[in-house]
Structure 1
């Protein structure tokens, strides 16, 4: 199955900006056995004075650019095709959480896929007693790790309301959980903190979600912008599984990975700095469709 993805991110400044430097993470990853990036075009307007591509610690594709002269706006446009492979039949090969802790307690590898990086805290993830209690109330110590990941994700989906007006990109996860409202970033941060409170390594996934629902289905939440969901390490036999708490579902071919990290800061689509005065207005639009 081949997906076409089109993304536009636009920044308009109240006053012209100069000496800007941005780090962009919007290209889909190559994930062995799951997805491959077949073609892509990433355009930046105005044309930057310098531009370079790299791969960060977690294996995400990055583009860095600089603009020296004053400019009133800056936009990023991505067009690409991603070949999604059929998923393997679901099997739960995971131990219970007590055994999972023993498994990662034996690990010494600190490579980018090591679960030891995903036990918190981070800049955006802090232990929270209310989230820990929420996880504990749902947790079944006799069940498998994967079953508990799914159970907590579904419970969070039932407890929270998707509300694009309730939070901003800088809202703390504890504030979103307190009001029980937010967007996919909030759902994801809260679920990561809840899983880590139980000793389950969990991280943040940034990516894209198919815009159109399957025939007879319903439109999923979070499809007008880049999406976010959770990955949890479930032992050496199972490895990482991914769960979308915003839509209460295990991740399948409708979810296209752009970046893996510990929290939003590791995979934010655009981050940087510039010299200007006044504020700015940022907009984002995403279209994902099947083309073959």
Structure 2
């Protein structure tokens, strides 16, 4: 499926801010066999005094921008065309869950894609006894790693309530799990903690999900939003699979990947530092427009 993607993220500051420096992860990139980028353009307004493109450890494109003079607003605009080729797994080639530790140990590399980076604690996801206990209750004897991933994701979907008012970007997985409410970031962090507690390497995917208007209703401009879901390493033969606990489904061709990492701290769309007085307001709008099947 071919998509046209439009994204705008706007910041308005209560007072002019100087010495602003941001690290931006908003550019989609090619993923062999799964995603192909036909075009992409990130526009920043006002034009920064410094701009540098780079690739981070996990292979995500980054854009570093900085302003030397005071500014009172910043706008990031993405325009891209992306072909998504991913389909839900047609079979289960994953390792038996009790064999997975041996297959992880056999990966004698520290390259970005190997599972070792996604098994221990990360900045936003630490071991949590209560989440691990929840995950263990979803297991059955003889399960494969993929079956365990699906079981945990579906259990979270049944247990958690999507509530955009319940959490903020800084809410921890433990807090969101305790109240059983949150948004896609919370669902994803909780599932990552659950899978790691079972010994399944798991990470965070940031990107876009095509949404569908109600029957008979026109598609709304800006109605889509940035989304998050889970990637899990389920053995040498199957490798990485992706599951969306917020929507209880594998991430297929309705999903467009922007960045991958251990948790949100590795993939935050915009992060940085500034010197200012007062607060700021943020607005975001996303359009994921299907163009054609190719």
Superposition deviation, residue 213 in structure 1: 5.3
1:250 match: 250
In structure 2, how many angstroms separate the alpha carbons of the residues matched to 1:258 and 1:188? 15
In structure 1, how many angstroms separate the alpha carbons of the residues matched to 2:88 and 2:124? 33
Report runs of 4+ in structure 1 exceeding 4 Å deviation: 213-216
In structure 2, how many angstroms separate the alpha carbons of the residues matched to 1:155 and 1:178? 15
In structure 1, how many angstroms separate the alpha carbons of the residues matched to 2:205 and 2:33? 17
Aligned pairs (5 A) from 1:164-243 = 164-212=164-212, 224-243=224-243
Superposition deviation, residue 215 in structure 1: 7.2
Aligned pairs (5 A) from 1:41-120 = 41-85=41-85, 87=87, 90-120=90-120
Q: 1:91 to 1:214 in 2, by over 3 A?
A: farther
Structure 1 counterpart SS, 2:137: helix
Contact 1:196 1:202 in 2 (8 A): yes
The two structures have a TM-score, normalised by structure 1, of: 0.95
Unaligned runs of 5+ residues in structure 2 are none
Q: 1:86 to 1:60 in 2, by over 3 A?
A: closer
Q: 1:113 to 1:141 in 2, by over 3 A?
A: farther
Contact 2:210 2:224 in 1 (8 A): no
Superposition deviation, residue 141 in structure 1: 3.7
Structure 1 counterpart SS, 2:190: helix
Contact 2:35 2:86 in 1 (8 A): no
The two structures have a TM-score, normalised by structure 2, of: 0.94
Unaligned runs of 5+ residues in structure 1 are none
In structure 2, how many angstroms separate the alpha carbons of the residues matched to 1:86 and 1:153? 19
In structure 2, how many angstroms separate the alpha carbons of the residues matched to 1:152 and 1:86? 22
In structure 2, how many angstroms separate the alpha carbons of the residues matched to 1:116 and 1:243? 19
In structure 1, how many angstroms separate the alpha carbons of the residues matched to 2:126 and 2:32? 32
Superposition deviation, residue 127 in structure 1: 1.0
Superposition deviation, residue 86 in structure 1: 5.7
Question: Number of aligned pairs?
Answer: 287
1:284 match: 284
In structure 1, how many angstroms separate the alpha carbons of the residues matched to 2:114 and 2:193? 18
In structure 2, how many angstroms separate the alpha carbons of the residues matched to 1:38 and 1:212? 23
In structure 2, how many angstroms separate the alpha carbons of the residues matched to 1:211 and 1:75? 24
Structure 2 counterpart SS, 1:178: helix
Deviation string, structure 1 residues 121-142 (Cα, Å, up to 9, x no partner) = 0111111111011001111241
Contact 1:211 1:289 in 2 (8 A): no
1:262 match: 262
Contact 1:21 1:274 in 2 (8 A): yes
Structure 2 counterpart SS, 1:149: helix
2:136 match: 136
In structure 2, how many angstroms separate the alpha carbons of the residues matched to 1:39 and 1:194? 37
